[in-house]
Structure 1
Amino acid sequence: MSKSYRYRGLGLTTKERNAGGRKFTEYQTVYPHLNKLSDLQLLEHLVFLETLEERYKTRIGELSRNTAATKIGITPSSLLKDLNDNSAEIINLKEKLGLFADKKLLDAFQRFQDIIKKFTAWGKDHVLERKTTCPFCSKPFILKIRTDKYEPIKTPFFKDKILANPELWDAYQKGEITKLRYSKILGTSEDFIDWLKEKVFDIKVQKK
Protein backbone atom coordinates (compact mmCIF):
# COMPACT_ATOMS: atom_id res chain seq x y z
CA MET A 1 0.00 0.00 0.00
CA SER A 2 2.82 2.46 0.85
CA LYS A 3 4.28 2.08 -2.63
CA SER A 4 1.04 3.23 -4.28
CA TYR A 5 0.32 6.13 -1.89
CA ARG A 6 1.42 9.51 -3.23
CA TYR A 7 2.13 12.41 -0.90
CA ARG A 8 0.34 15.53 -2.17
CA GLY A 9 0.99 18.25 0.41
CA LEU A 10 -2.26 20.13 -0.18
CA GLY A 11 -2.48 23.60 1.40
CA LEU A 12 1.28 24.11 1.41
CA THR A 13 3.56 26.32 -0.63
CA THR A 14 5.89 24.70 -3.14
CA LYS A 15 8.83 25.00 -0.76
CA GLU A 16 6.80 23.61 2.13
CA ARG A 17 5.41 20.79 -0.03
CA ASN A 18 8.91 19.70 -1.06
CA ALA A 19 10.13 19.76 2.54
CA GLY A 20 6.97 17.97 3.65
CA GLY A 21 7.52 15.24 1.07
CA ARG A 22 11.00 14.60 2.40
CA LYS A 23 9.70 14.48 5.98
CA PHE A 24 6.88 12.12 4.92
CA THR A 25 9.41 9.73 3.36
CA GLU A 26 11.64 9.96 6.41
CA TYR A 27 8.74 8.98 8.68
CA GLN A 28 8.04 5.96 6.46
CA THR A 29 11.68 4.89 6.68
CA VAL A 30 11.94 5.23 10.46
CA TYR A 31 8.47 3.78 11.13
CA PRO A 32 7.91 1.02 8.53
CA HIS A 33 4.76 -0.17 10.32
CA LEU A 34 2.99 2.80 8.73
CA ASN A 35 1.89 0.92 5.63
CA LYS A 36 -1.91 1.11 5.67
CA LEU A 37 -3.84 3.71 3.70
CA SER A 38 -5.44 5.16 6.84
CA ASP A 39 -2.03 5.43 8.53
CA LEU A 40 -0.49 7.18 5.54
CA GLN A 41 -3.37 9.64 5.33
CA LEU A 42 -2.91 10.49 9.01
CA LEU A 43 0.83 10.74 8.45
CA GLU A 44 0.34 13.28 5.67
CA HIS A 45 -1.94 15.31 7.95
CA LEU A 46 0.73 15.13 10.66
CA VAL A 47 3.31 16.55 8.27
CA PHE A 48 0.85 19.32 7.38
CA LEU A 49 0.35 20.22 11.06
CA GLU A 50 4.10 20.20 11.67
CA THR A 51 4.48 22.60 8.75
CA LEU A 52 1.83 24.87 10.29
CA GLU A 53 3.74 24.78 13.57
CA GLU A 54 6.81 26.06 11.76
CA ARG A 55 4.66 28.87 10.33
CA TYR A 56 3.41 29.83 13.78
CA LYS A 57 6.91 29.85 15.22
CA THR A 58 8.21 31.87 12.28
CA ARG A 59 5.41 34.40 12.79
CA ILE A 60 6.16 34.63 16.51
CA GLY A 61 9.81 35.24 15.68
CA GLU A 62 8.88 38.02 13.27
CA LEU A 63 6.65 39.68 15.86
CA SER A 64 9.42 39.44 18.44
CA ARG A 65 11.88 41.16 16.13
CA ASN A 66 9.36 43.87 15.18
CA THR A 67 8.53 44.64 18.81
CA ALA A 68 12.09 44.47 20.08
CA ALA A 69 12.65 48.15 19.41
CA THR A 70 9.66 49.15 21.51
CA LYS A 71 10.53 46.54 24.16
CA ILE A 72 6.94 45.35 24.23
CA GLY A 73 7.77 41.77 23.22
CA ILE A 74 4.27 40.46 23.78
CA THR A 75 3.01 37.67 21.50
CA PRO A 76 -0.72 37.87 20.70
CA SER A 77 -2.67 35.38 22.83
CA SER A 78 -4.63 34.17 19.78
CA LEU A 79 -1.40 33.17 18.05
CA LEU A 80 -0.16 31.34 21.13
CA LYS A 81 -3.49 29.53 21.44
CA ASP A 82 -3.33 28.43 17.80
CA LEU A 83 0.23 27.18 18.34
CA ASN A 84 -0.71 25.26 21.49
CA ASP A 85 -3.80 23.71 19.87
CA ASN A 86 -1.75 22.70 16.85
CA SER A 87 0.96 21.16 19.05
CA ALA A 88 -1.67 19.20 21.00
CA GLU A 89 -3.10 17.82 17.74
CA ILE A 90 0.40 16.83 16.61
CA ILE A 91 0.94 14.88 19.83
CA ASN A 92 -2.47 13.25 19.44
CA LEU A 93 -1.71 12.12 15.87
CA LYS A 94 1.71 10.78 16.84
CA GLU A 95 0.10 8.68 19.56
CA LYS A 96 -2.47 7.32 17.10
CA LEU A 97 0.28 6.39 14.67
CA GLY A 98 2.39 4.73 17.37
CA LEU A 99 5.34 7.07 16.90
CA PHE A 100 6.02 7.15 20.64
CA ALA A 101 6.39 3.37 20.84
CA ASP A 102 9.64 1.76 21.92
CA LYS A 103 12.04 1.67 18.97
CA LYS A 104 13.07 -1.88 19.92
CA LEU A 105 9.46 -3.01 19.72
CA LEU A 106 9.04 -1.33 16.34
CA ASP A 107 12.20 -3.00 15.04
CA ALA A 108 10.97 -6.38 16.30
CA PHE A 109 7.61 -5.78 14.63
CA GLN A 110 9.31 -4.94 11.35
CA ARG A 111 11.50 -8.05 11.51
CA PHE A 112 8.38 -10.13 12.09
CA GLN A 113 6.68 -8.51 9.09
CA ASP A 114 9.77 -9.16 6.96
CA ILE A 115 9.76 -12.83 7.98
CA ILE A 116 6.10 -13.16 6.98
CA LYS A 117 6.79 -11.55 3.60
CA LYS A 118 9.80 -13.79 2.96
CA PHE A 119 7.88 -16.90 4.01
CA THR A 120 4.97 -16.00 1.72
CA ALA A 121 7.30 -15.34 -1.21
CA TRP A 122 9.23 -18.56 -0.54
CA GLY A 123 6.00 -20.56 -0.44
CA LYS A 124 4.95 -19.22 -3.84
CA ASP A 125 8.34 -19.91 -5.41
CA HIS A 126 8.86 -23.35 -3.84
CA VAL A 127 5.49 -25.07 -3.91
CA LEU A 128 7.18 -28.41 -4.66
CA GLU A 129 9.55 -28.33 -1.71
CA ARG A 130 8.93 -29.92 1.66
CA LYS A 131 10.64 -29.39 5.02
CA THR A 132 11.62 -32.43 7.05
CA THR A 133 14.03 -33.33 9.85
CA CYS A 134 17.08 -35.58 9.79
CA PRO A 135 16.44 -38.62 12.05
CA PHE A 136 20.13 -38.70 13.03
CA CYS A 137 21.13 -35.09 13.77
CA SER A 138 17.60 -33.61 14.14
CA LYS A 139 18.50 -30.71 11.85
CA PRO A 140 15.82 -29.53 9.42
CA PHE A 141 16.34 -29.77 5.68
CA ILE A 142 14.28 -29.39 2.52
CA LEU A 143 13.11 -32.10 0.13
CA LYS A 144 12.48 -30.78 -3.34
CA ILE A 145 10.02 -32.77 -5.43
CA ARG A 146 11.27 -33.27 -8.98
CA THR A 147 8.37 -34.50 -11.08
CA ASP A 148 10.64 -34.77 -14.11
CA LYS A 149 12.65 -37.42 -12.23
CA TYR A 150 9.72 -39.76 -11.59
CA GLU A 151 10.04 -43.19 -13.18
CA PRO A 152 6.73 -44.95 -13.84
CA ILE A 153 6.75 -48.56 -12.65
CA LYS A 154 3.99 -51.00 -13.45
CA THR A 155 2.72 -52.68 -10.30
CA PRO A 156 2.65 -56.51 -10.43
CA PHE A 157 -0.36 -56.76 -8.14
CA PHE A 158 -3.04 -55.97 -10.71
CA LYS A 159 -4.53 -57.78 -13.66
CA ASP A 160 -5.91 -54.97 -15.74
CA LYS A 161 -7.62 -53.01 -12.92
CA ILE A 162 -8.27 -55.95 -10.62
CA LEU A 163 -6.13 -56.99 -7.66
CA ALA A 164 -4.72 -60.33 -8.75
CA ASN A 165 -0.95 -60.61 -9.46
CA PRO A 166 -0.63 -63.03 -12.41
CA GLU A 167 2.75 -64.33 -11.18
CA LEU A 168 1.24 -65.39 -7.88
CA TRP A 169 -1.67 -66.94 -9.75
CA ASP A 170 0.73 -69.06 -11.78
CA ALA A 171 2.51 -70.13 -8.58
CA TYR A 172 -0.85 -70.99 -7.03
CA GLN A 173 -1.88 -72.99 -10.08
CA LYS A 174 1.39 -74.92 -9.97
CA GLY A 175 0.85 -75.74 -6.32
CA GLU A 176 3.83 -73.68 -5.18
CA ILE A 177 1.64 -71.67 -2.78
CA THR A 178 -1.69 -72.46 -1.19
CA LYS A 179 -4.94 -70.58 -1.67
CA LEU A 180 -4.64 -69.29 1.89
CA ARG A 181 -1.12 -68.02 1.25
CA TYR A 182 -2.19 -66.38 -2.00
CA SER A 183 -5.10 -64.62 -0.28
CA LYS A 184 -2.90 -63.38 2.57
CA ILE A 185 -0.36 -61.92 0.14
CA LEU A 186 -3.15 -60.03 -1.63
CA GLY A 187 -4.78 -59.11 1.67
CA THR A 188 -8.07 -60.74 0.72
CA SER A 189 -10.16 -63.78 1.62
CA GLU A 190 -9.95 -67.24 0.03
CA ASP A 191 -13.35 -66.60 -1.55
CA PHE A 192 -11.76 -63.77 -3.50
CA ILE A 193 -9.28 -66.25 -5.00
CA ASP A 194 -12.20 -68.37 -6.20
CA TRP A 195 -13.76 -65.24 -7.68
CA LEU A 196 -10.50 -64.46 -9.53
CA LYS A 197 -10.51 -67.95 -10.98
CA GLU A 198 -14.06 -67.60 -12.23
CA LYS A 199 -14.15 -63.97 -13.34
CA VAL A 200 -10.58 -63.19 -14.38
CA PHE A 201 -8.23 -66.02 -15.16
CA ASP A 202 -10.68 -68.67 -16.45
CA ILE A 203 -12.22 -66.08 -18.77
CA LYS A 204 -8.76 -65.44 -20.16
CA VAL A 205 -8.37 -69.16 -20.86
CA GLN A 206 -11.80 -69.36 -22.49
CA LYS A 207 -11.00 -66.45 -24.81
CA LYS A 208 -7.92 -68.25 -26.03
Structure 2
Amino acid sequence: MSRYVAEYNVNKSDDLIKFIAEDFLTKEGFQQTVYKGENVWKKGIGAVTAPQFIKLEYGQGKVHLEAWIKSFGEHGLTGFYGALPKSELNSRVQNLVRLLTQEIPDAASVQSPSTMDGTAQPIPAPVPVAVHNPTSKATVSIITGILSIIASLYIPLAGVILGIIGISTGKVGKQSTAKGLATAGFITGIIGLVLGIVIWVLNFVLSFMLLTS
Protein backbone atom coordinates (compact mmCIF):
# COMPACT_ATOMS: atom_id res chain seq x y z
CA MET A 1 0.00 0.00 0.00
CA SER A 2 1.83 3.05 -1.26
CA ARG A 3 1.48 6.03 -3.53
CA TYR A 4 2.72 6.43 -7.06
CA VAL A 5 5.53 9.01 -6.84
CA ALA A 6 7.46 10.52 -9.74
CA GLU A 7 9.57 13.57 -10.60
CA TYR A 8 9.44 15.31 -13.98
CA ASN A 9 11.65 17.99 -15.48
CA VAL A 10 9.15 19.96 -17.58
CA ASN A 11 11.15 23.17 -18.09
CA LYS A 12 8.17 25.48 -17.78
CA SER A 13 7.29 28.43 -15.60
CA ASP A 14 5.29 27.90 -12.42
CA ASP A 15 2.39 29.91 -13.87
CA LEU A 16 2.22 27.72 -16.97
CA ILE A 17 2.44 24.50 -14.94
CA LYS A 18 -0.34 25.77 -12.68
CA PHE A 19 -2.54 26.70 -15.65
CA ILE A 20 -2.12 23.35 -17.45
CA ALA A 21 -2.57 21.26 -14.30
CA GLU A 22 -5.59 23.13 -12.96
CA ASP A 23 -7.27 23.16 -16.37
CA PHE A 24 -6.81 19.38 -16.72
CA LEU A 25 -7.81 18.42 -13.19
CA THR A 26 -10.86 20.68 -13.13
CA LYS A 27 -12.10 19.28 -16.44
CA GLU A 28 -11.61 15.74 -15.11
CA GLY A 29 -13.83 16.51 -12.13
CA PHE A 30 -11.16 16.82 -9.43
CA GLN A 31 -11.53 19.32 -6.62
CA GLN A 32 -8.89 20.85 -4.38
CA THR A 33 -9.03 19.71 -0.77
CA VAL A 34 -6.87 19.11 2.28
CA TYR A 35 -6.03 15.48 3.01
CA LYS A 36 -3.99 14.65 6.11
CA GLY A 37 -2.62 18.19 6.11
CA GLU A 38 -1.65 18.03 2.41
CA ASN A 39 -3.08 20.16 -0.40
CA VAL A 40 -4.30 17.66 -2.96
CA TRP A 41 -6.79 17.16 -5.81
CA LYS A 42 -9.54 14.61 -5.14
CA LYS A 43 -12.16 12.95 -7.34
CA GLY A 44 -15.02 10.87 -5.92
CA ILE A 45 -16.36 10.29 -2.44
CA GLY A 46 -16.23 6.51 -2.36
CA ALA A 47 -19.95 5.85 -2.81
CA VAL A 48 -19.46 3.90 -6.06
CA THR A 49 -15.69 3.57 -6.50
CA ALA A 50 -12.54 4.41 -4.57
CA PRO A 51 -11.70 8.14 -4.41
CA GLN A 52 -8.75 9.21 -6.56
CA PHE A 53 -6.05 11.61 -5.37
CA ILE A 54 -3.35 13.60 -7.16
CA LYS A 55 -0.79 15.77 -5.41
CA LEU A 56 1.35 18.26 -7.32
CA GLU A 57 4.32 20.30 -6.18
CA TYR A 58 6.37 22.32 -8.65
CA GLY A 59 9.10 24.91 -8.91
CA GLN A 60 12.06 25.85 -11.13
CA GLY A 61 10.67 23.82 -14.03
CA LYS A 62 10.33 20.59 -12.06
CA VAL A 63 7.16 18.75 -11.01
CA HIS A 64 6.75 16.34 -8.12
CA LEU A 65 3.66 14.20 -8.65
CA GLU A 66 1.95 11.70 -6.36
CA ALA A 67 -1.16 9.67 -7.18
CA TRP A 68 -3.19 7.10 -5.29
CA ILE A 69 -6.63 5.69 -4.59
CA LYS A 70 -7.99 5.34 -1.06
CA SER A 71 -9.72 2.12 -0.07
CA PHE A 72 -8.66 0.52 3.21
CA GLY A 73 -5.44 2.48 2.96
CA GLU A 74 -3.60 4.17 0.11
CA HIS A 75 -2.84 2.28 -3.10
CA GLY A 76 -0.70 3.36 -6.05
CA LEU A 77 -1.32 2.67 -9.72
CA THR A 78 -0.37 -1.01 -9.90
CA GLY A 79 -1.69 -4.23 -8.44
CA PHE A 80 -4.89 -6.28 -8.79
CA TYR A 81 -6.77 -4.65 -5.92
CA GLY A 82 -8.86 -1.72 -7.16
CA ALA A 83 -7.77 -2.40 -10.74
CA LEU A 84 -10.51 -0.28 -12.38
CA PRO A 85 -10.01 2.98 -10.44
CA LYS A 86 -6.25 2.45 -10.62
CA SER A 87 -6.47 2.11 -14.40
CA GLU A 88 -8.58 5.28 -14.64
CA LEU A 89 -6.18 7.22 -12.41
CA ASN A 90 -3.14 5.93 -14.30
CA SER A 91 -4.66 7.11 -17.58
CA ARG A 92 -5.31 10.55 -16.07
CA VAL A 93 -1.78 10.78 -14.72
CA GLN A 94 -0.27 9.87 -18.10
CA ASN A 95 -2.43 12.46 -19.89
CA LEU A 96 -1.50 15.13 -17.35
CA VAL A 97 2.20 14.33 -17.71
CA ARG A 98 1.88 14.45 -21.50
CA LEU A 99 0.39 17.94 -21.30
CA LEU A 100 2.98 19.15 -18.79
CA THR A 101 5.90 17.85 -20.85
CA GLN A 102 4.64 19.05 -24.24
CA GLU A 103 7.07 20.95 -26.41
CA ILE A 104 6.23 24.64 -26.49
CA PRO A 105 7.97 26.95 -29.00
CA ASP A 106 9.86 29.94 -27.67
CA ALA A 107 7.96 33.19 -27.88
CA ALA A 108 10.68 34.55 -30.17
CA SER A 109 10.08 31.75 -32.69
CA VAL A 110 6.37 32.49 -33.00
CA GLN A 111 5.70 34.96 -35.79
CA SER A 112 3.87 38.04 -34.61
CA PRO A 113 0.92 39.35 -36.62
CA SER A 114 1.76 42.19 -38.95
CA THR A 115 0.15 45.59 -39.27
CA MET A 116 -1.40 46.95 -42.45
CA ASP A 117 1.94 48.33 -43.63
CA GLY A 118 3.68 45.00 -43.15
CA THR A 119 5.65 45.86 -40.02
CA ALA A 120 5.54 43.55 -37.02
CA GLN A 121 3.42 44.54 -34.08
CA PRO A 122 5.34 45.29 -30.88
CA ILE A 123 3.14 42.90 -28.85
CA PRO A 124 4.46 39.30 -29.08
CA ALA A 125 2.14 36.67 -30.48
CA PRO A 126 0.69 34.24 -27.91
CA VAL A 127 2.55 30.96 -27.56
CA PRO A 128 0.25 28.00 -28.42
CA VAL A 129 -0.30 25.58 -25.54
CA ALA A 130 -2.25 22.33 -25.82
CA VAL A 131 -4.89 21.95 -23.10
CA HIS A 132 -7.08 19.05 -22.06
CA ASN A 133 -10.02 18.38 -24.39
CA PRO A 134 -11.82 15.21 -23.18
CA THR A 135 -13.89 14.55 -26.31
CA SER A 136 -13.39 10.80 -25.87
CA LYS A 137 -15.38 10.97 -22.63
CA ALA A 138 -18.23 12.60 -24.54
CA THR A 139 -18.22 9.71 -27.01
CA VAL A 140 -18.16 7.10 -24.23
CA SER A 141 -20.99 8.95 -22.48
CA ILE A 142 -23.41 8.91 -25.42
CA ILE A 143 -22.65 5.26 -26.19
CA THR A 144 -23.08 4.03 -22.61
CA GLY A 145 -26.07 6.31 -22.08
CA ILE A 146 -27.96 4.81 -25.01
CA LEU A 147 -26.91 1.27 -24.08
CA SER A 148 -28.08 1.84 -20.50
CA ILE A 149 -31.64 2.49 -21.70
CA ILE A 150 -31.64 -0.64 -23.87
CA ALA A 151 -29.97 -2.80 -21.21
CA SER A 152 -32.41 -1.67 -18.52
CA LEU A 153 -35.28 -3.33 -20.38
CA TYR A 154 -33.57 -6.74 -20.30
CA ILE A 155 -30.87 -6.66 -17.59
CA PRO A 156 -31.71 -3.85 -15.15
CA LEU A 157 -28.44 -4.14 -13.22
CA ALA A 158 -26.43 -3.70 -16.42
CA GLY A 159 -28.57 -0.67 -17.25
CA VAL A 160 -27.82 0.84 -13.85
CA ILE A 161 -24.07 0.31 -14.25
CA LEU A 162 -24.02 1.70 -17.79
CA GLY A 163 -26.15 4.64 -16.68
CA ILE A 164 -23.66 5.52 -13.96
CA ILE A 165 -20.81 5.37 -16.48
CA GLY A 166 -22.78 7.55 -18.92
CA ILE A 167 -23.42 10.15 -16.22
CA SER A 168 -19.85 10.27 -14.91
CA THR A 169 -18.21 10.43 -18.34
CA GLY A 170 -20.82 12.93 -19.50
CA LYS A 171 -19.92 15.30 -16.68
CA VAL A 172 -16.29 15.25 -17.81
CA GLY A 173 -17.14 15.36 -21.52
CA LYS A 174 -19.18 18.54 -21.04
CA GLN A 175 -15.85 20.30 -20.41
CA SER A 176 -14.74 19.46 -23.97
CA THR A 177 -15.53 20.84 -27.41
CA ALA A 178 -18.05 17.99 -27.77
CA LYS A 179 -20.28 19.44 -25.06
CA GLY A 180 -23.54 18.71 -26.92
CA LEU A 181 -22.66 15.03 -27.34
CA ALA A 182 -21.66 14.76 -23.67
CA THR A 183 -24.87 16.44 -22.54
CA ALA A 184 -26.92 13.94 -24.55
CA GLY A 185 -24.93 11.10 -22.98
CA PHE A 186 -25.43 12.57 -19.52
CA ILE A 187 -29.20 12.78 -20.02
CA THR A 188 -29.57 9.30 -21.52
CA GLY A 189 -27.40 7.97 -18.69
CA ILE A 190 -29.82 9.41 -16.14
CA ILE A 191 -32.78 7.94 -18.02
CA GLY A 192 -31.09 4.53 -18.20
CA LEU A 193 -30.14 4.63 -14.52
CA VAL A 194 -33.66 5.55 -13.36
CA LEU A 195 -35.29 3.06 -15.73
CA GLY A 196 -32.97 0.30 -14.56
CA ILE A 197 -33.71 0.99 -10.90
CA VAL A 198 -37.47 1.14 -11.50
CA ILE A 199 -37.57 -2.13 -13.46
CA TRP A 200 -35.25 -3.78 -10.94
CA VAL A 201 -37.57 -2.80 -8.07
CA LEU A 202 -40.68 -3.88 -10.01
CA ASN A 203 -39.12 -7.27 -10.76
CA PHE A 204 -38.30 -7.72 -7.08
CA VAL A 205 -41.82 -6.75 -5.98
CA LEU A 206 -43.48 -9.06 -8.53
CA SER A 207 -41.22 -11.94 -7.58
CA PHE A 208 -42.01 -11.40 -3.91
CA MET A 209 -45.76 -11.30 -4.63
CA LEU A 210 -45.57 -14.54 -6.63
CA LEU A 211 -43.67 -16.27 -3.84
CA THR A 212 -46.15 -15.17 -1.19
CA SER A 213 -49.31 -15.81 -3.18
TM-score w.r.t. length of structure 1: 0.27
TM-score w.r.t. length of structure 2: 0.27
- Which has the higher relative contact order, 1 or 2, with Cα contacts under 8 A spaced 6 or more apart? 2
Higher Cα radius of gyration: 1
